Structure formats: C-alpha cells, structure tokens
Chains A and B, each alone.
Chain A
Amino acid sequence: MRVEITYKFIMGFIFVVASIVILNLVVPMLGIAEVWQQLVSTGGAILVGLVLGSLFSKAFTGNIKILNAAAERISQGDLSQTIELKESTFPDETADLADSLNLVNENLKELVGRVRDASVKVSDSAQGLSATSQEMTASSHELSNTVEQISRGAEVQAETVEKSSRLIKEMAINTELVASSSKKVADAVDITAQTAQGGGEKSQQTMQRMMQILQDVERSGEQVVNFGSQLGKIGKIVEVINGIAQKTNLLALNATIEAARAGEYGRGFAVVAEEIRKLADSTTDSAEEITGLISQVQDEGQNVEVSLRNNIQEMDEGRKAINETNKAFEEIIETAVNTQTKAKSIAELSQKQIEGANKMVDAIEEISQVVSDNAAATEEGSAATEEQSAAMSEMAQSAQELATYAETLAENVKRFHLGNDFPVV
C-alpha cells in the first residue's frame, strides 16, 4: 500500500501524540508517585518520539541514500546496476524516484549502448569511408593519369590529324599538279596530233610532189629514151650518109679508073672524080665524127638513163620512206589521240581525286575539330578528376576526422559502464 511521505509524517505525529496521550493515561495507573508521573510520561513521550523519529528517518533516509548513491553512480557513468530499494510495506515517492532513476538508467544505458554501437559503426564506416576515399583518390589519380594520357593521346592525335590534313592537302596540291600536268600533256598531245596531222599532210604533199617528180623523171627517162632512139635514127641516117659517102668514094674510085683508062681525055674527069672522092672522104670523116658524137651522146644518154633509173629506184625508196613516214604519222596521230584520251581521263580522275581529297580535308578538319573538342574535354576531365581527387583527399581527411571524432565519442562513451549486457567493443 502506497503511502505518501506527508501522510507518513502525519501518521508519525499522530503516533507520537497518541503515545503521549496513552502514556499520560497509563502512567497514573501504574502507581507511580505523582511527582514521577509527569516525568515518566514526558520521558516516555520523548522516548517514543525518538524511537519513532529514528525509525521514520532511518526508513526515509536509507532510501534517499540508496537513491543518492545510485545518482552518484549514474553521474560517475556506472549504468550497470539497477536501483533496488529495501522492501517496504508502504512504498513512497522514493520508490517512484528509484523507478524514474532506473528508467533514466535504462534509457541512458540504451542510449549509451546505441551511441557506442553507433560510434563504433561510425568509426568503422569512417574508416571504411576513409579507405574507400583513399582508394577513390588512388582511382581518381589513376583516372587523372589515364585522362592525362588520353589528353596526351588526344594531343598526339590532334598532331597526327593535322599532319594527315597537311599531307592530304599536299596530296591534293600534287594531284592538282598532276591534273594540270595531264591537261598540259593533253594540250601537248593535241599539238602533237595537229603537228602529226600537218606532218602527214606535208608528207602526202611531198609524196604527191615525189610522184610528180617521179612522173617527170619517168617522162625525162622516156624523153632520154626517145632522144636515144632519135639519136639512133640520126645514127642510121649518118650510116646511110656514110654508106652513100662510101659508095660515092667507090664511084669516084671507079670514075678515076675510067678516067685513067680514057687517058688524056679523062684527065679533067679524073680531077672531078678526085674532088668527089675527097668530098666523099670528108663526108665519111664527118659521118664518123657524127657517129662518134652520137655514140658519146648515146653513152651519156645511157648514163642519164641509168642515173634516172637509179633516181626512180631511189624515188621508189623515197616513196616507201614517205609511205612509212605517213604511216608513222598516222600511228603518231593514233597514239596521240589515245594519249589524249588517257590524259583527259587522268585529268578527270585527278579532278575527282582532288574533290575526294577536299572532302577528305573537310572530314579531317571535322575530325580535327572533334579531336580538339576531345582534347578540351579530356583537359576538362583532367581538371575535373583533379578536383575530384582533391575532393576525395578532402573527403578522406574528413573521414579520418570523422573516425577520430567517432573514436573520441567512443572514448567518451567508454566511461559509461553498462554491465555485462553491453560488452565494451
């Protein structure tokens, strides 16, 4: 049965007052002198008051001491014990206080346990975090290195791309040179073809002239032959003249003979015959001269004929040569036309190549753009990874600090003894 301290005090007072009253009643009955009666009653009342007061205060202060000690313990950090008050028939506010303190103890114990667990966990986590952040720092360092490598690679790539671009531009320039050269070739071949055409025409003209000359030479040959035959005719005539002269000579001889036979009468006739003979002789001489001249002329004519024949032969060879020249010119023209076609196709192809090269240049410029963007991005990435790395370092430091704090917290919490239920970690 719960009785409040107030009521206990009241009850104590009532008991004291009652005992004094009872004593006052009892004592006269005992037969004690009256003088003593007052004294005994007073003494008994004081005794009863002392006994009851000491009992009350003992019961009262004992619980208070226990509570005080428990509070002292709690304040010391010892949460291992529960407050147990002496069994009392009439529990009072101290029991409530003990319960409250026990509740406080319990709560505090739980709290401290939780704090300890949490601090351990935080410490663990902080250490884990620290480790992780260190790993991450390492990773970010690696990443940074990698990014730097990528950046360097991107620079190399940019250089390579630039080089490629330059090379392709050079190639395009060279291809343009090829195109212009092939155009020049085509022009030159055109000129060659025209020249060859002209040459062919000229050789044909030469051929025609040769033919004319050949005809002239043939005509000359014929004329020479005619001349020879006419000379032959003249020779025959001269032969006839010669024959006549010889016959005349013979006649003159016979006339001389006749004149001699006629004696004196024939003397004049003999003179005439002699004159005739002389004429015939000179005719014969002239005829011989003519014959000699004719044979000389004929010889020369034959020489002329031979040389004309040689000329004709040579001209035939010349004609063959001109024919071959003509053929050669035709072949040159054909070759030139082929070459022209090829040169034109080369020019077209190189034009296409130039276009392709220009496209390649554009593409490479785009690539270059992308590469420089990449380079910038990797640089940014590098900066970012460095920042990240720094942040990670900071984070690691913070985690370290956190771990320290957690340890400090754990250290602080350690002074609370929680008993066997909560072993210290």
Chain B
Amino acid sequence: MELLLVFRLSDEWFGLEVDDLQEIVESPELNFVPRAPDWILGAINFHGNIVPVLDLSSFMELGDNAYGERAVVLPVGQKALALGVTAIHRIVPLDPDLMLPCQREEQKGLHIRMLYNYDGKMINMLDLPSLLSSLETL
C-alpha cells in the first residue's frame, strides 16, 4: 500500500508519495548559499552532503515567508534538493480510488498532478517531475 506524506504550503494542503522522498528534516538554521536564486532559502548538511532548500511556497507563488523549518529531502539518486514546507502533517495511506483529476492547464506553474480526497480534505498531489523540470529550465 502506498503512503502519502501530507504537508502544508502556506494555507494549502499538498501531498507527496513516500516513495518519492528520502527523509523529513527539521532545519531551523540554514547555511548560506552564495549567488543562489531568491527561492533557495539556503542549504542543509544532510548526512555529509550539501543540499539546497527550496522555498516551495514562494516558488509556487502561494505565499512568501512560509518556511516552517521543515524540509522534505528528495531521494539521493535524484538531484540533491530539499523542499522547504510550512508544516508536515502526517503520513496517510493512499487510496487510488480517491484520486481526482485536475485541470492541468489551470494548474500551470503550480505543479499539481491530481487532487486527493482525504477525509473530506482536498490534497494537492505535487507533480515532482514537473517541478524538477521547471527548476532545470531556470
């Protein structure tokens, strides 16, 4: 059974499959990254690796200064990146039947794949490949 990490960006609920992430860290202090773009908050030392932290709320234009000292580190195999979020909610089981499609065109720039109806709460499923590719293009 798939598990889903539910987190918050500003006031919006987002979800990310547990398989797509390495670890959740608490990082109140971030290391300064020189010449980094505005949406890079800084970097953390993740088990000896320097991992930049993306201000996801700001990047997705949901609200500035919404970093809640929690970062979701992506798997080591991929590009070294941590997503700074406002708050981590919990890990919930994912029922594919409760997935709802969403209008991709309307969600452009938001990197939302689908919507997941969890306990009456609509959770935006983060489109990680879209996000990463949009990061690549910048």
Contact = CB atoms under 8 A, between A and B. Distances in A.
Contacts of B12: none
Interface stretch (A67-75, A220-228, A248-256, A396-404): A248-256
Contact of B24 (A257, A260, A261): A257
Contacts of B23: 254, 257
Nearest to B1: A260
A163 interface: no
A261 B3 CA distance: 10
Interface in A248-290: 249-250, 253-254, 256-257, 260-261, 277
A256 B26 contact: no
Nearest to A255: B91
Contacts of A253: 5, 24, 88, 90-91
Contact of A247 (B3, B19, B22, B26): B26
Interface in A217-249: 246-247, 249
A256 B18 contact: yes
A277 B91 CA distance: 10
B122 interface: no
B60 interface: no
Nearest to A277: B90
Given A246-B26, A250-B24, A254-B23, A260 B3 contact: yes
Q: Select the residue from A254, A256, A257, A277 with max chain B CB neighbours within 10 A.
A: A257
B93 to A, nearest CB: 10
Range for the number of chain A residues in contact with chain B: 10 to 19
Contacts of A261: 18-19
A257 B19 CA distance: 8
A260 B18 CA distance: 7
Q: Select the residue from A253, A254, A256 with max chain B CB neighbours within 10 A.
A: A253
A257 B26 contact: no
A256 B18 CA distance: 9
Nearest to A252: B91
Contacts of A260: 3, 18-19, 91
Range for the number of chain B residues in contact with chain A: 10 to 19
A256 B88 contact: no
Interface in B1-58: 3, 5, 18-19, 21-26
A263 to B, nearest CB: 10
Given A260-B3, A277-B90, A254 B19 contact: no
A353 B15 CA distance: 115
A257 B20 CA distance: 10
A247 B5 CA distance: 16
Given A246-B26, A247-B26, A257 B90 contact: no
A249 B91 CA distance: 11
Contacts of A247: 26
Contacts of A254: 23-24
A18 to B, nearest CB: 230
Contacts of B26: 246-247, 250
A181 to B, nearest CB: 90
B18 to A, nearest CB: 5
A261 B20 CA distance: 10
A250 B91 contact: no
B102 to A, nearest CB: 25
Contact of A256 (B3, B19, B22): B3
A134 B107 CA distance: 166
A111 to B, nearest CB: 180
Given A246-B26, A250-B26, A257 B88 contact: no
Contacts of B88: 249-250, 253
A250 B26 CA distance: 8
Interface in B87-108: 88, 90-91
Nearest to B70: A250
Contacts of B90: 253, 277
Nearest to A243: B26
Interface in A15-71: none
Q: Select the residue from B5, B24, B88, B91 with max chain A CB neighbours within 10 A.
A: B91
A247 B25 CA distance: 9
A292 B70 CA distance: 24
A249 B5 CA distance: 13
Nearest to B26: A250
A41 B21 CA distance: 259
19 contacts: A246-B26, A249-B88, A250-B24, A250-B25, A250-B70, A253-B5, A253-B24, A253-B90, A254-B23, A256-B18, A257-B5, A257-B18, A257-B21, A257-B23, A257-B24, A257-B91, A260-B3, A260-B19, A277-B91
Interface of B: 3, 5, 18-19, 21-26, 70, 88, 90-91
Given A253-B24, A257-B23, A261-B19, 13 more contacts: A247-B26, A250-B25, A250-B70, A253-B90, A254-B24, A257-B5, A257-B18, A257-B21, A257-B24, A260-B19, A260-B91, A261-B18, A277-B90
Q: Which 7 A-B pairs have the closest CB atoms?
A: A260-B18, A256-B91, A260-B3, A257-B18, A253-B24, A254-B23, A250-B24
